[in-house]
Structures are given as C-alpha cells and as structure tokens.
A = this chain, B = another copy of it.
Amino acid sequence: MSKRIGKQTVSLPHRPGILSFASIAGQKEKEGPYGDKFDCIIPDELNGEQSFEAAERAMLELAITLCAQKARRTPQDVQLLLSGDLLNQIISAGFAARNLGIPFYGLYGACSTMSESLSLGSMIADGGFADVLICATCSHFCTAERQYRAPLELGNQRPPTAQWTVTGAGAVMVGCGPSAANARAVLTHTTCGRVIDLGITDQNNMGAAMAPAAADTIAAHLQDTDRRFEDYDLVVTGDLGHLGRDLLIELLRKKRITVQEDRLFDCGCEIFSARQDAHSGGSGCGCAASMLCAHILPEIASGHLKRVLFMATGALLSPTTTMQGESVPGVAHAVVIEHKEEKDDA
C-alpha cells in the first residue's frame, strides 16, 4: 500500500492532473523578460486598495478566482484551498480564504509555499480526498520589505546579494479522476524537504540561506527516485537568485551530482532582466508561483517540456530570531510535473 520511495519521496500512482493555472504580476515584473506571459498585471502597488497588504490579498484572490474560471468553475466548486504567504499570520491567504469561502489549510513555508502546497495537494488528490483543489501563493515587494527588512520610506541601500521580492501571485488547480482527464500536465512524485541551516546570518543574502536546502532536496529526490539530473528537461528552483544558483551548483557538485547548467532554471534569476536593478534577482513566494503559472506550466502542457522538477525554496527568515543571533534555515519541497499526451488519456 505504501507509496513511499526512499526517505523523502512518494510516488503519485493516480497522477493527479493540473486542471488550470493563473498568474498575476506587478508593473516591474511586466517589464521583465516574461512580462507578456502573466495573465494579469496589477495597475500599481496599491492595486486599488487602501494598503499594500490589502493589495497583496486582492491579487491572491484574483489568481484563485481566475484559476477557477479558466477551468470553467467557480470558487464554490473548489473543495480545498492550500495556501500561505510571507506575511505574519499568513494574512493574505487567510483573508482570501475568508472572502472566497473555500475550506482552507493554511501553510507557512516562506518562499517554498508554491511547491509545499503542490506537494500536499498532490497527495490529497492522489489519495482520493479531493477531486478539485487549488494550491496558491503570493508576495508583494512593499509588504515583504516592510515586514522583513525596513519600510521603503527609509530608502535603505541594498547590498549586491539582496533580492527583489516579486509582486505576484500564482494559483494551480489540481484534480484527480474523471475531472482531470483532459489535463496536459500531471504530478507524478513529490519530495518533502528537510530544514537545512549552514549558518547564514545576513538577512540580505537569502540565496545563500536557501541553496543548501535546495541541494539537499535535489540530492534526496535523485537518490530516492534513482534518477539523474539529466532525466529532467528542466529543474526549476524558486528564487535562489544569481548567487544562490551558483552556490547550489557548487553544493550539488560536492555531492557528486552532475549538473547540466542549461537545465537549471531559477525563477529568481529569470524574472527580471539585468538592467532592472534587481541585484541578485527576484524572490518571494510570488516569484516561483507566478513564473510556474506564466511560463513553466504552459511549456509542460504544450509538450515543449516533458518532465520538470519544480522546487520552490524558502528561507525561514525571522526578524526576531535574527536579532537573537540565530542563523537563517532554509527548506525546499519538490514536485515532478510531466507532460501528458492526449493519447495517454485512455
């Protein structure tokens, strides 16, 4: 009966399908290389609301509603919402769940939330506990900077290792059974990450804090599944940024894993162009979430990518513990998403 393979990975024998997905992004993200791929761009940082927090929440709600619409459903048809965000008490997810009325499991995995929600959601769907559920997350530059570092009004200078929190949201509808028959992207495995801490204490260097967790989860996944890095068309990491991506490659080499660098796609490195002054790259839950829904999933659904390891990475940064002298641990969860041919439907 056990679907476990190895220490951290499970297989999903019913191959839950991805029924629809939606992405929202901000103006800066619109100006990046993937700007024309997002479903919707919010007009400005306030998004028609009175506060940045309300703007973020509205963005997440829109992503979820749009995701349901694209599958020709309403939020009322969705049986479960698995969501979380970067803000204290996950207020974006909690208030979105209140407004939408969908039964709700709140998650906190920092920037790993998109793959954490897909990891849990894929097991729930595969196990027959939900026919239709949505996994979603979001982040907002202005709310994250205020909470984790300093209010924007201070105009603090940012070091080269700093990343730019993406203003964006992504929502993915997962289903199993007959409702998922037409899905062109399916979930086949998931690997739950461990919390790894190599002692980074600089809250402006999240890439370095997350890279060890990313390396640990990739290594566990490849060992559990007896696969190699090259068995994936793409290994997608969340928001390591330029520095974190380099560190990940170095850490994987130390683990004697051969990395095809052209197949390692970090959403944080890709979402902004070099001239956008985003330093080490994009970050935030919304980075991996919006890039997954705007770029990666369409490529899988169309068959351009056949098999992808999607792994959002989270730095469990806490202003409180940082002030208490603690370092910043990281965590990364992975899901395998494969293209499904129409002929596979039978």
Q: Which residues of A contact B (CB under 8 A)?
A: 1-4, 7-8, 10, 14, 50-51, 53-54, 79-80, 84, 87-91, 94-95, 97-98, 101-110, 116, 119-120, 123-124, 126-131, 147, 176-177, 192-197, 316-321, 324, 326, 329, 331, 333
Q: Choose among B53, B107, B147, B324 the residue that contacts A54 (Cβ–Cβ < 8 A).
A: B324
| Chain B residue contacts of A194, Cβ below 8 A | 97, 101-104
Q: Choose among B80, B88, B104, B130 the residue that contacts A88 (Cβ–Cβ < 8 A).
A: B88
B108, A8: Cβ atoms under 8 Å? no
Q: Report if A324-B108 is in contact (Cβ < 8 Å); known contacts: A98-B196, A329-B95.
A: no
Q: Report if A98-B317 is in contact (Cβ < 8 Å); known contacts: A8-B103, A192-B103.
A: no
| Chain B residue contacts of A130, Cβ below 8 A | 4, 10
Q: Report if A88-B318 is in contact (Cβ < 8 Å); known contacts: A102-B194, A104-B193, A195-B98.
A: yes
A320, B129: Cβ atoms under 8 Å? no
Residue in B closest to A319 when the chains form the complex, CB atoms: B88
Q: Choose among B2, B102, B105, B316 the residue that contacts A107 (Cβ–Cβ < 8 A).
A: B105
CA separation between A333 and B1, bound complex, in Å?
Answer: 27
CA separation between A51 and B324, bound complex, in Å?
Answer: 8
| Chain B residue contacts of A196, Cβ below 8 A | 98
| Chain B residue contacts of A192, Cβ below 8 A | 80, 103-105
| Chain B residue contacts of A108, Cβ below 8 A | 84, 89-90, 106-108
A104, B324: Cβ atoms under 8 Å? no
CA separation between A1 and B179, bound complex, in Å?
Answer: 13
| Chain B residue contacts of A331, Cβ below 8 A | 94, 97, 104, 106
CA separation between A324 and B50, bound complex, in Å?
Answer: 9
13 contacts between A and B (CB under 8 A): A1-B14, A4-B79, A4-B130, A53-B321, A90-B108, A91-B318, A94-B329, A95-B321, A97-B194, A104-B195, A104-B331, A107-B107, A127-B127
Among A116, A197, A331, max chain B CB count under 10 A is at A331
Q: Choose among B110, B123, B197 the residue that contacts A123 (Cβ–Cβ < 8 A).
A: B123
B127, A105: Cβ atoms under 8 Å? no
Smallest distance from the beta carbon of A321 to chain B beta carbons, Å? 5
CA separation between A267 and B4, bound complex, in Å?
Answer: 36
A53, B127: Cβ atoms under 8 Å? no
B8, A89: Cβ atoms under 8 Å? no
Given known contacts A2-B128, A89-B316, A104-B192, what 20 new A-B pairs fall within 8 Å (CB)? A1-B14, A3-B127, A3-B128, A3-B129, A89-B318, A90-B108, A91-B321, A94-B331, A95-B316, A95-B329, A98-B329, A103-B192, A103-B193, A103-B194, A105-B107, A105-B119, A106-B108, A120-B120, A120-B124, A147-B320
B88, A105: Cβ atoms under 8 Å? no
Q: Choose among B116, B128, B326 the residue that contacts A106 (Cβ–Cβ < 8 A).
A: B116
Q: Report if A94-B129 is in contact (Cβ < 8 Å); known contacts: A88-B320, A108-B108.
A: no
A2, B131: Cβ atoms under 8 Å? yes
CA separation between A98 and B315, bound complex, in Å?
Answer: 12
Smallest distance from the beta carbon of A145 to chain B beta carbons, Å? 14
Smallest distance from the beta carbon of A52 to chain B beta carbons, Å? 10
Residue in B closest to A97 when the chains form the complex, CB atoms: B195
| Chain B residue contacts of A87, Cβ below 8 A | 318, 320
